């Protein structure tokens, strides 16, 4: 039975698409992002009884703790966590600014770790749950000059580390790393052609969450048909 799904990076792209699919499938959703206006619009779209908008900067652990508290106060439980917040950078180690790199690492890596840390006490106490982490094709192979790729390698490794921790603790908590190829999201300044749509990844997330409890889908790599590598 669907339950409560917490989504970071929920205001646009993959996060927003997943929220729409989840509510259609019977989930209640906790939507976290820095953009309150977009979150509120999404709540109105999917139906206010089914959704909670919570402003959250994933790089601030106190924000993430408050997010969990708001979710539990509203819905009483969290059944699944989609750690999806992240952004990219131009390739080239002489591109972007060091400050931009710092924000990307804080969001893409530390933000995911903070989401896990803030939610894990509740998930462990309940004795069940499911984490889905957004990595990337770039988290499976190094891309020339891509510091973004390095952050996604970290997310891929984090997912496996969390999965192994749950197995060592004999906790029936599942962990899935989703690794999209090129997706037409606000990630890109210029809209790509022949890319996946956010809905494509949302359907993958819902497929994973819909598996029986004894099925742990560890990793899903999904590319556009036209993407060679």
Is residue 151 a contact partner of residue 108, using CB atoms and an 8 Å limit? yes
Looking at 100-191, which runs of residues are DSSP E strands? 129-134, 173-180
148 is catalytic: yes
* 220 secondary structure, DSSP code: E
Quick one: pLDDT at residue 195? Answer: 84
Weakly modelled stretches of the chain, pLDDT under 50: none
Is residue 116 a contact partner of residue 83, using CB atoms and an 8 Å limit? yes
Euclidean distance between CA atoms 29 and 42, whole angstroms: 11
Quick one: pLDDT at residue 187? Answer: 56
Phi (first) and psi of residue 130, to 5 degrees: -150, 125
How many of the other CB atoms lie within 10 Å of CB of 80? 25
Euclidean distance between CA atoms 144 and 82, whole angstroms: 28
Q: Which of 82, 148, 153, 187 is catalytic?
A: 148
Please name the helix (run of DSSP H) or strand (run of DSSP E) that holds residue 29, with its range, or none: strand 28-33
Is residue 206 a contact partner of residue 162, using CB atoms and an 8 Å limit? no
**How many CA atoms are closer than 13 Å to the CA of 73, on its beta-carbon side?**
9
Note the pTM of the prediction, 2 decimals: 0.94
* 50 secondary structure, DSSP code: G
Domains of the chain with CATH codes: 4-222 (3.40.50.720)
Quick one: pLDDT at residue 97? Answer: 94
Quick one: pLDDT at residue 2? Answer: 87
C-alpha 103: how far from chain center: 17
* 32 secondary structure, DSSP code: E
Euclidean distance between CA atoms 187 and 100, whole angstroms: 14
Euclidean distance between CA atoms 162 and 157, whole angstroms: 9
Please name the helix (run of DSSP H) or strand (run of DSSP E) that holds residue 165, with its range, or none: helix 147-168
Quick one: pLDDT at residue 189? Answer: 57
């Amino acid at each position: 039975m669907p339950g409560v799904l917490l989504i970071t990076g929920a205001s646009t792209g993959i996060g927003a698409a997943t929220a729409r699919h989840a509510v259609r499938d019977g989930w209640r959703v906790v939507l976290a992002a820095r953009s309150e206006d977009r979150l509120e619009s999404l709540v109105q779209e999917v139906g206010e009884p089914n959704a909670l908008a919570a402003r959250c900067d994933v790089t601030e652990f106190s924000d993430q703790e408050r997010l969990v508290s708001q979710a539990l106060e509203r819905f009483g439980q969290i059944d699944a966590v989609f750690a999806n917040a992240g952004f990219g950078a131009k390739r080239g180690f002489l591109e972007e600014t060091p400050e931009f790199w710092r924000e990307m690492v804080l969001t893409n890596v530390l933000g995911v770790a903070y989401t896990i840390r803030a939610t894990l006490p509740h998930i462990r106490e309940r004795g069940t749950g499911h984490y889905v982490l957004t990595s990337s094709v770039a988290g499976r192979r190094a891309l020339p000059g891509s510091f973004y790729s390095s952050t996604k390698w970290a997310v891929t490794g984090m997912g496996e580390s969390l999965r192994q921790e749950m197995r060592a603790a004999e906790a029936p908590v599942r962990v899935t790393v989703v690794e999209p190829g090129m997706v037409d999201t606000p990630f890109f300044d210029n809209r790509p052609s022949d890319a996946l749509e956010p809905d494509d990844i949302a359907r993958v997330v819902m497929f994973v969450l819909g598996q029986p409890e004894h099925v742990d889908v560890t990793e899903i790599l999904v590319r556009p048909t036209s993407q060679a590598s």
